Structure 1
Amino acid sequence: MRKRTLSVLCTLGALGGVLAVPAAAQAADPFPSGPSVRTSENAVFLDFGTRKLPKDLKVFLREPGTDTPVATITELDWADEGDDVDWDEPHVTVVRTSPLRLADLGRYAVDVEYDGTEGETILHKDEAVLDYRLIPLVKTFEVIGDPDLVNRTVTIKGDATLRDPRDDSETPMANGRLVLETTAAKTELTTDAAGHVETPYTFTGTEKEDKSTPSRDDFAVVLRPADEDAAHGLTRQVEVDKPWVTITLDSSTVRGADGTDVPLSGRATYRDHNGVSQPVPVGTLMSVYNVRKFYAGEDGRFTAQVPIYGTRQQAIAVHLTPWLPAAYARYTPDPTTSAGFHRIPDATVSRYKKVTVSSVLDSYDLPAKTTLKVKLQFKATGSKTWVTKKTVDSPAAKGDSSRKVKVADLPYPGEGVWRFQYSGTKKIPGGPAPESYTIVRDMTALPEFNASPEPVKKGASLTIAGKLNEKHWYDGQWGAFAGARVDIYFRAKGKTTWSKAGTAVTDKNGKFKRTFKAAKDGDWQARYDGDESQHFYSHSRKDYVDVK
């Protein structure tokens, strides 16, 4: 952003008087709440929330407890992306002072003054405090060494200075406090008389990857002055030579009822450069793949609760970190006596508002042939309640077996999801019951329909006209349905069957029109037959025409 100087004046020293404050009755403040004000080490930032700033804007700095300013600043520039503006969002309405050059270090109260709507002086006192002090900075920083999980010790080397904001001169930060920071630990270090630090440091082995870099193979190490943020320090990336990781399960098979969790134990190890097996560090992140997280304990041991989900193989994983590669070990569930559904149900709704749902019920280790009662349930979008729509019997053989369960021609209850559930008994516990994808179609309607003229002479033209609308499922709004085919039907007086007389296509406004020759007395009707997946069918009212 190009900076534009608003005005230029900065006066140091006493101004020979007390700041005048107008009477409240005379003030017409265009910004009654004043600006948002914050300070950095050598600048003041103001935000009035608008690009239109008040007239004769000034910033005063004074020692707390006094009324005499030590500086008046009217040199204000628009802040840009390089400025230390840390409000919640980037503010294009922020202005800042130029770097301040005050005579003395110390803490200064910040006042803001500008003209009111009638030209009167408006003063907002004590809007912020400027801590004008020596600024600690880390100037050099090195991480020396090639750490791995066996040897995690490196050498930390750095230099720190104190910058004087009065003239930007720098001196060594003698006996200064620094902080070495990673995602796993913070360690305080002390500089020598020359502002230098050089010391061994041992990483924990659980540092997390630096997500700000494209690679996930490194982690960030920050050296900064104590009580200051990372902007006053330096950051270095550390990359580790990863070893080979192995997960050894105490048993590769687990037993339990379908849909339950059971314990699985094992040990996670890695191979060092000498080929010796070592336990992964305590706290190494692991997971039952895509289900739940847990952490390795002492000697790399772990015990995790894992799901029995039919006989489908599952995986235990060590997560990728800067120290370790990803690793997996698979286990096989062996369900005890139980039954459940493991596939997402196939749920469809036809154009004629009929629902069909099907899935496969798996049963395991049944002692004898039996019949399992299965509930078909529906949950409307936005609801937390499952409603049973039908109960069906599903025969199950002795031992392990699978059988398809299907229910068809149910009335469409609206947008929502479906599931089959076997609730289980004491002898045969019930397993999982996954829900379907949401099924929905757009409603359609023919709110306008007319056959004219009425009555009509035999052989004369008869015009059939109407309009087709659709209701969008995503916002519930009705609108014109353009480009749809509408069938025109006729039923002669005294007959019970309808015959198709012709077809019309809706225009951009959802309207259609078709002309016929009048032949017989009878009813006319328009029908939209829906489509394969998106729209329901609908039909118009019947319109009787008397043919003379």
Structure 2
Amino acid sequence: MRKSFVLSLAATALLAAAPPALAAAPDVQAGVTLAASGAQRVLTLTVTAKDPVGIAKVEAVLRTKDGTSFQTVSDFVRSSGTDADGVWTASYRSDIENHPGTITADVTVVNHDGESTVRPVSYNDCYPTTIEATSTPERLDLDHPAAHITGRLLARRASDEEPVPVPGATLNVVPNKTVTTAEDGTFALDLRGRVQTTISFPAAGRYCRAPYKDMRFTVDQSEVTLTARKTAPSPLPVGTPVVVSGTVTRTRADGTTVPVEGISVRLTPTIGNRSVVATTAADGTYSISFVPQGTGNWNVYAEGSIYTVQSPALWGDVLVQDKTPTFSPLTVTPSPVARTRPVDITATVSRTAVDGTRTPLWGEEVFLEFSSDGKTGWTTLDELRVRDGKVYATIDADRNGYVRLRYAGDTATKPGTSEARFLDVRTGTEFTHFNAAPEPISPGGRLTVSGELLRLPGTSWIPAGSGTPITIQFRADGSTAWTTMGTTTTDKNGVFRKTFTASKSGTWRATYAGSATYTPAASGTDNVRVGRRTAFAKGFNVTPEPVRRRATATAAGKLLRYAGGWRPAARGTKVELQFRPSGSSAWKYFGYAWTNADGTFRLAFSAPADGTWRAVYAGSATYLPATSGTDYVDVR
């Protein structure tokens, strides 16, 4: 005797209470079950209905998923209860061959008042399926990286029948593969790079969705050996790429070393850059290029995979010349400079970073270089040490040309040079024996300025020769500006002279503007006092003499001025009395007196000690100073 089995099919309205109707409609619940035995597939609809006036009619219309009706079930029989509260059932055969898949039974229940309730109930009319699958080998590794999966898809038409193969079915294999079953329901595929997978069969036609088939694989991971080699100059100019290359290998059980293909190698700089990844080729080689953003380190390692263990990281460094030497313009003093004379050269040197920040050099060497044309043939004149960003050099000038500073660079700073500065070397010139006379001098007097201009063509000074233009300049007392008073030329001995009319006190000098061959020059200065002459008349005297200590002594004299002839100084002219004690060389102020209308003056005082006395007139804007004769007084 065959055993039958009953399937409880999913129903959207099964055991669900109907919502209250607007009118007095029956309260309906519906469900469906399947009994499959042999070739018989019988479906039973069970309807539970309640209505106070009693149930008059129950029927159901079957439709497919697309809404097409294909059968009406009307032979419902009340199997229990009453018309007002009972259970009605009806059985019918499945039409799975023609209408497989989701079927909806729209159950209609009508009461004796003609009020009705429609309750849909759905079920999936299909054959249950099962996936069988196994894989080989038992353990995966780099030598056996693919899992060979074989299996079959089976369907059970009835509980008392053996499952049958499902041909032509498409199965999904995680992550993104599909496989189609053969006529006997079998399938086979190779899966690489996975430690697990899931095989699934979605519902198709008369076949139900199969339960997922989960599979896990045992993988033996291999250790790998990473090599790395940096290809780049050191130090490295900014913007220059660095290439790191190498191999990834492993050692087999038999001791042989073989390359590993498809391994991700990751390089990470410690400054600025993001990681860069490359994949090993068939020969196990890789190559990674990156542009470092500054001096720092990098590390590289082979990432782990399903078949390999992550390698230890290898480290390297890179020195980037990301700073630029910055030179101030060279200062050359004097310029032009006399040949064989020393010339001072100064400048500042700093490092400029990419962000514009400047830092003075300290302790580094720079080279002072010379070139005759400023373009080629640079030779080193001196090696200089930078102190707090400053460079000083003194050289003996011997020829025209160009000078510059050169910094050789270091691990952080690029090489660089300053702008070239022209070194203007000429034959030296110099004034000697410069004089303005007479001095002092009266207004309107004839003042002669003279001197000699020399040249240094070799190691000895010689006269400048005739015809060299000389400029005579004057700076009045109290002023800072020089005024050109006239010009003259040298004679064959380099001597020059020029006569002027004296008008005011001040300082005189001579200048030579220089030429393409000779350096400019300026003489020393000579201050000349201009004013009317003054003098003390003979007979300045201190009386009595000798004199007792602290007794009264009197100094007397007469001050004269020249105005077409010698005349007494005006009343009220101040005259100072000075004293120099015996044994001393210093004059000391002792007092003053005012002149009378006849230019005479007198000053009484207490005699302090033995010594010499004199009278001094300091002068004014109009009159020149004067000093009297001296008088020694013996104090007892």
TM-score, length-scaled by structure 2 = 0.33
Indicate the structure whose relative CO is greater, using CA pairs within 8 Å and at least 6 residues apart.
Answer: 1
TM-score, length-scaled by structure 1 = 0.38
Is the radius of gyration larger for structure 1 or structure 2? 2
